[in-house]
Amino acid sequence: MDIIDLIKSRRSIRRFSQEKLDRNLLIEFVEAARCAPAGANIQSLEYIIVDEPQICEKLFACLAWAGHVKPKRNPAPGQRPVAYIVVLADMDIKKNAAVDAAAAIENILLAAAGKGVGSCWLGLIDREKISQILNIAPKYYVDSVVALGKPAEKPVMEDAKTEDTKYYLDEKDVLHVPKRPLKNILHFNRFNGK
C-alpha cells in the first residue's frame, strides 16, 4: 500500500482477534522503532516485547481504554491484545525522551498496520505497576505501551464537523474518529488568522 494511504487508514484498534502474532513480526516492529528519528540522534529508548499470555493478562490490568466511550471499548476477554511492546526511556541517557518515543511509536503503529496488525498506543498506564510486573530498573521511564493483535473492529476516520473531536460509537457499534479538516489547519506562506 502507498505510505500515505497506510497512514490515512491506520486507526487505533481496541478489539482484537485471538490469533497469535509471530515473534519475528513483533521484532520487525521494534526494528522499525529503532530506525526512527531521535533528537541529536541520542537514543535512549528500549523495548520489551510481551507475548506470554500470563504476562499479557497482568499488563492488561495496568491499561485504560478509550475514555470518551468508556467502558464500551474496554476489550472484553476474547477481544484483548495478544501482544504488547512496552517502550522504555533510559533517563540516564536523556531526561525527557517523550518526543523521540512518539516518533518510534508511530513507526511501530505504521509497521503493524502495514502487516495487517492492529495497534493501540496507550499512554494512560499504571507505570509503577508495569515496572514491578516486568522487573524494570528505576532509571527507566515507562513511556507507553503499544497493544497489538489482528483487528476485530473497523473504526472510521471522518472530517470533524464541529470543534468537538471526541471519538464516538454509532448505532452499529462502529467507532468514528473525527479529525480536524485540512482547511481549518493548513496555511500557505504566512499564517492566515481567522
Ligand X SMILES: Cc1cc2nc3c(=O)[nH]c(=O)nc-3n(C[C@H](O)[C@H](O)[C@H](O)COP(=O)(O)O)c2cc1C
Positions touching ligand X (CB under 6 A) are 11-12, 14, 64-66, 120-124, 155, 167, 177
d(CA 183, CA 192): 11
Cβ-closest residue to ligand X? 123
Closer residue to ligand X (CB): 22 or 57 = 57
Contact 148, 81 (CB under 8 A): yes
Work out how close the CB of 94 gets to ligand X at its nearest, in angstroms, rounded to a whole number.
18
Closer residue to ligand X (CB): 24 or 162 = 162
Look up residue 103 and give its three cell numbers: 516518533
Closer residue to ligand X (CB): 88 or 120 = 120
Q: Hey, CA dihedral for 166, 170, 173, 177, is it positive or negative?
A: negative
d(CA 140, CA 94): 10
Amino acid identity of residue 163, one-letter, is: E
SS3 53: helix
Work out how close the CB of 114 gets to ligand X at its nearest, in angstroms, rounded to a whole number.
15
Work out how close the CB of 107 gets to ligand X at its nearest, in angstroms, rounded to a whole number.
13
SS3 145: strand
d(CA 178, CA 90): 35
Work out how close the CB of 125 gets to ligand X at its nearest, in angstroms, rounded to a whole number.
6
Work out how close the CB of 68 gets to ligand X at its nearest, in angstroms, rounded to a whole number.
8
Closer residue to ligand X (CB): 35 or 99 = 99
Closer residue to ligand X (CB): 163 or 193 = 163
